[in-house]
Amino acid sequence: MKVGYVRVSTIDQNIERQTKKMESMNVEKIYIEKSSAKDIEGRPELKSLLDFVREGDTVYIHDFSRLARSTKDLLDITEMLAEKRVELVSFKESIDTSTPTGRLMLTMIGAINEFERTNLLERQKEGIFLAKEMGKYVGRKPIPFPENWEEIYNMWKSREITAITAMKVLKLKKSTFYKLLKNWTDK
């Protein structure tokens, strides 16, 4: 059976280019995921695909970056497929893992993709650092204090209420509550 895996990083991104290619290759079943490829754990559709495929099936992907962001994950996924005797075909890289050359190229491309991703993150950090030095990057906007902050803060400080109660009354998440608390006490 021909099985396809389509993934975009965010809900806003378009899957049409990938699905059209799958349809043109007569892929019978397509798993569609709209999430980051950080790791396999956060991708239920990929897990379903891996459970579904059987010996003799072929998994089609647009390119290796749709399947994994790290060489380790890419190799782990392809190993899982190989153990089930399932082939993997990437349209962009024109690689078929049923051949020794295809498996070698898969490893090399996975390493290059991981290297590119690491370099991109490094450049991003450098850009943010330079922008901060030039005063052009100020980060997130500060979270405003709720209207009744001072009243609830005083009740919490005098131990009339717990932090959990204060968070509920203020409708704040734990991290936001403690961030505001730190900012309040630093004044």
Catalytic positions: 9
- Record the tokens describing residue 134, joined without a space: 């030039």
Alpha helices in the chain (DSSP H): 16-24, 44-52, 64-67, 71-83, 100-133, 149-157, 163-170, 174-186
Q: Find out whether 76 and 83 touch, Cβ atoms under 8 Å.
A: no
Rounded to whole angstroms, how far apart are CA atoms 77 and 68?
Answer: 8
